[in-house]
């Protein structure tokens, strides 16, 4: 397995909408393992396949270092937000935008469906930090970065900083 370089803003590959995983097998499992190793090495709490140049709808998340009682490592393919409720505002950063954090508005709770690495249906309903990270990583699969969710003024300040 490998630790891979993470694409950083403004790399245009971060803006590509990833393709659904149609075949579940060893190649997908290897990509997921590379994603996990890269996320832990970075270190981060989540990583989406497009951040490493994989054109697949895959995310890995582990918030257990930040939150006691968290479910541990999650590997999710073709994740979709089925429902979302409430509102939370919290600080976000991104491995693809090193050195920049900002407050971002997200849904407080989400119900997400997808598949595990074996191609079996997977569903998770969560709130708080895990809901935030899921939304952030699923955004990556659609070419959306957290800076896109900032006010115009904050985006302009970020671009001038860059």
SS3 letters across the chain? CCCCCCCCCCCHHHHCCCECCCCCCHHHHHHHHHHHHHHHHCCCCEEEHHHHCCCECEEEECCCCCCCCCCCCEEEEEEEEEEEECCEEEEEEECCEEEEEEEEEECCEEEEEEECCCCCEEEEEEECHHHHHHHHHHHHHCCCCHHHHCCHHHHHHHHHHC
137 assigned to active site:
yes
Q: Which of 41, 67, 137, 156 is catalytic?
A: 137
Residues with catalytic roles:
137
């Amino acid at each position: 397995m490998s630790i891979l370089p993470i694409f950083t803003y403004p790399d245009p590959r971060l803006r590509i909408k990833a393709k659904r995983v149609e075949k579940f097998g060893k190649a997908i499992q290897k990509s997921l393992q590379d994603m996990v190793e890269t996320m832990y090495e970075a270190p981060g709490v989540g990583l989406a396949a497009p951040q490493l140049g994989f054109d697949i709808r895959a995310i890995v998340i582990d918030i257990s270092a930040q939150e006691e009682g968290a479910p541990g490592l999650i590997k999710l393919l073709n994740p979709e937000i089925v429902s979302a409720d409430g509102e939370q505002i919290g600080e976000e950063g991104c491995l693809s935008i090193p050195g920049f954090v900002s407050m971002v508005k997200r849904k407080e709770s989400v119900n997400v469906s997808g598949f595990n690495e074996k191609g079996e249906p997977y569903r998770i309903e969560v709130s708080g930090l895990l809901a935030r990270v899921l939304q952030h990583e699923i955004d990556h699969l659609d070419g959306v970065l957290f800076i896109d969710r900032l006010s115009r003024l904050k985006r302009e300040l970020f671009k001038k900083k860059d």
